[in-house]
Amino acid sequence: MLLVRRAVQTAVRTNHYRSFSASQTHRNERKGLVLGVFEKEGEEQSLHLTETAAGFDQSVSGKLSELLKISGPALKKGKSRIFYGIHKDFPCVAVVGLGKGNEGVCGAENWDTTKENVRQAVSAGCRLLQDLEVNHVEVDGCGDAQSAAEGAALGLFHYDQLKSKKKTKVTTQLHGSSDTAAWEKGVTYAEGQNLARLLMEAPANHVTPTAFANTIEEKLAPHAEWVTINKRTKAWVEEQQMGAFLSVSRGSEEPPVFLEIHYNGSPDSKQPPLLLVGKGITFDSGGISLKPSLSMDAMRADMGGAATVCSSIVTAAALKLPVNIIGLAPLCENMPSGKATKPGDVVTAKNGKTIQVDNTDAEGRLVLADALCYGHTLNPRAIVNVATLTGAMDVALGSAATGVFTNSDWLWEQLHKASVVTGDRVWRMPLFQHYTRQVTDSQLADLNNIGKYSRSGGACTAAAFLREFVTAPHWAHLDIAGVMSNKDEVPYLRKGMSGRPTRTLVEFAAGLAHKGM
C-alpha cells in the first residue's frame, strides 16, 4: 500500500505537473479550482467533502475522494494539496482543509473560528494556484461564500506595481453555488482592505498628501451621486486655526491637505452622521526628534488610519450602505527642516488649548486633535478616530488586535461585535484619569504631547491626550500601530502592510445602517 501511495503522489505532483506546464499557452488550461474538506468529528484520518466538493467528486466518478485517501494523511486546517488532470475543465485542483465545520464563535478567541478557517484555507489554495501561474480560479464557497471571497481576494493581493516582474494576475469567481450575493459582498469587503494596503505599501514619494487625496477622489468618482469631497488647502487650515496640525506639516516641502468626505447613503434620514477620522502622516521621519534609520522606511504607512478610514468609506459607497458617513483625513508629512517644530515649542489647537510639544515624533495626536475639534462642528452621532499612533500599542497587544479606547459602552459593543464577524479583532483599553493627569501636567502649556512619564503607558497617555479634544458622548480611538503590518500572523495576508481594520470599520458601519443610528 505504501508503494501505491508513493506512486500516486509522484504522479500527482510530478507527471501531471509536467503536462500542465507544457500546456500553459492554452488559456482554457490555465484555469484552477479550489475545493474544501472538513475534518470529521472523532475520526482523525477521515475527511468530509463540502457540498460543492462532493458534487465535483461525483462528476469525476469518485476520483477526488480516492486520491485524497491515498495521497497522504488527512488534510489539516489551513493545509492544501493539489491534483492535476482529474477534470478536463480544471487542469489543476487545490483541495484545502477547513478544520471542523461547526466551530462557530469562540469566546476565548473573540472571533468566528469557522469564518477564519474558510478565509485561511481558501487563501492558501488560491495562492498555490497563483504560484503555478493559473490566471482564473473558481472557488468553493465552503458554506460561507462571503468569507471564501475575502480569503481569495485578500490572499491574492501582492504589491508589485513598481516591479518589472509581476505575479500572475488571477481572476476569481464562485463555483457551484447560487450564493453570489454573499460572494460579491466578500469581494467588496476585501477590495476595500486591499485599497488600504495599496496606499500603505506604496512609497511616500508616490503617495504624498495630494496624491493620497486624489486617489480617494478617483475611487469615489463612480459614486458621485452620494459623495461630496473637499480637498482643503493650507490656507483653509490656517483659517480654521488648526495650529496643532500646521505645526506638524511645517517641516515638509509637501503642502498639507485636509481631506473631507461626505457619503450620504441615507439622505432622507434625520439621524446625524457617523464621523470617521484617520491620521494621515504620509511619511513620518519623527521631525526634529528624528527616528532611528532602521525600519524608518515603514513610516510610509503612518497614514494607515487615513487609509483604512477612507477605504472603508469607498467600500460603504460600493455596497450602497444606507447610512451617512463623514470622513476626515488630515494629511501631511512630518519632516525635519529649518522650519520644523522644535522640541519645547508651544502650539495652539483649534479649540484654543495650548500644547507643549516635547517630542515632535508624537505628531499623530497633534493632527488628530484639530481634526477632532473640527469634527464636532459637524454634529456627528458617533466619532471613531483611527491612527497608527504609538509603538506602545504594539508592545501591549502586538498584531493580535486593535486597541480601542472609548468613553461609550454602546460604541465599544458595536465595534466588538463587528470584529467578531470579520476576524479582525479589537480589544478595549483603559481611559483612566490616571493617564489624563500625566498629559495635563505641563510646564509651559495646557497639555504636554508626551505626558509626564513618556515611556510608561504610552498608548494610554496618547488616548488621554486625544480625549482632551472630545466632548461627544460616543467617541472611540483605535490605535492600529500593532496591526499596521503583517509578517505571518494573519495567514490569509501576505507579508507587508495589512490594511487592518478596514473590514471591521465597514462591518461596524453596516451594523449601524441596518439597526439605524
Domains identified in the chain and CATH numbers: 2-176 (3.40.220.10), 194-515 (3.40.630.10)
- The reported pLDDT for the residue numbered 45 is 53
Query: Does 7 score more than 70 pLDDT?
Result: no
Concerning whether 250 is annotated as a catalytic residue, the answer is no
Residues 6+ apart with CB under 8 A from 456: none
Which single residue is written with the C-alpha cell 502592510?
497
pLDDT tens per residue, range 168-211: 999 999 998 789 999 999 999 999 999 999 999 999 999 999 99
The predicted model gives 325-343 an average pLDDT of 98
CB–CB of 458/425 below 8 Å?
A: no
For residue 395 the three cell numbers come to: 508592545
How far is C-alpha 346 from the chain's CA centre? 35
Tell me, what's the pLDDT at 16?
39
Tell me the pLDDT of the chain averaged across its residues: 92
Q: Judge whether 446 and 353 are in contact, CB under 8 Å.
A: yes
**Would you call 428 a catalytic residue per the annotation?**
no
Q: What is the pLDDT of residue 225?
A: 96
pLDDT tens track for 287-330: 999 999 999 999 999 999 999 999 999 999 999 999 999 999 99
pLDDT of residue 40: 79
Among residues 69, 291, 381, 428, which one is catalytic? Answer: 291
Residues 367 and 354: their CA atoms lie apart, in Å, by 14
The whole-model pTM stands at 0.93
Section 476-501 average pLDDT: 98
Q: Is pLDDT at 24 greater than 50 in this prediction?
A: no
Q: What cell does 386 get?
A: 483611527
CA distances from 211 to 207, 217, 218, 331, 385 (A): 5, 10, 10, 10, 22
β-bridge mates for residue 406, sequence order: 476
Q: Note the pLDDT of residue 74.
A: 80
Distance (Å, whole) CA 348 – CA 354: 4
Q: What's the pLDDT score for residue 334?
A: 98
Residue 86 reports pLDDT greater than 50: yes
Give the per-residue pLDDT at 23: 41
Give the residue-averaged pLDDT of 116-125: 98
Rounded Cα gap, residues 232 and 142, in angstroms? 46
What percent of the chain shows pLDDT beyond 90?
Answer: 86
* Averaged pLDDT, 452-480: 94
What average pLDDT does range 381-390 have in this prediction? 98
Element (H, E) at 55: helix 51-59
Taking 90 as the threshold, does the pLDDT of residue 11 lie above it? no
Once rounded to an integer, what is the mean pLDDT over residues 202-229? 98
Collapsing DSSP to helix, strand or coil, 170 comes out as coil
More confident: 288 or 267: 288
CA gap 73, 322 in Å, rounded: 48
In angstroms, rounded to a whole number, what is the distance separating the alpha carbons of residues 86 and 152?
A: 23
C-alpha cell of residue 150: 475575502
pLDDT of residue 233 exceeding 50, the answer is yes
pLDDT of residue 42: 60
Q: Cis peptide leading into 501, omega within 30 of 0? A: yes
Q: Does residue 142 have a pLDDT over 80?
A: yes
Query: For 37-46, 358-367, 425-434, which range has the lowest pLDDT when averaged over its residues?
Result: 37-46
Say how far apart CA 58 and CA 63 lie, in whole Å.
8
| pLDDT for position 101 | 82
Residue 373 has pLDDT above 70, yes or no: yes
Q: What is the mean pLDDT of residues 230-243?
A: 98
Catalytic site residue from 365, 467, 494, 500? 365
β-pairing verdict for 257-264 and 227-232: antiparallel
User: Secondary structure of 282-348 in the HEC alphabet?
Assistant: EEECCCCCCCCCCCHHHHHHCCHHHHHHHHHHHHHHHHCCCCEEEEEEEEEEECCCCCCCCCCEEEE
Inter-CA distances, 310 with 147, 376, 388, 433, Å:
22, 19, 15, 32
Percent of the chain with pLDDT over 70: 93
- Across 394-402, average pLDDT: 98
Please list, residue by residue across 128-148, b when 16 or more beta carbons sit within 10 angstroms of its beta carbon and e when fewer do. bbbebebebbbbbbbbbbbbb
Residue 458 has pLDDT above 60, yes or no: yes
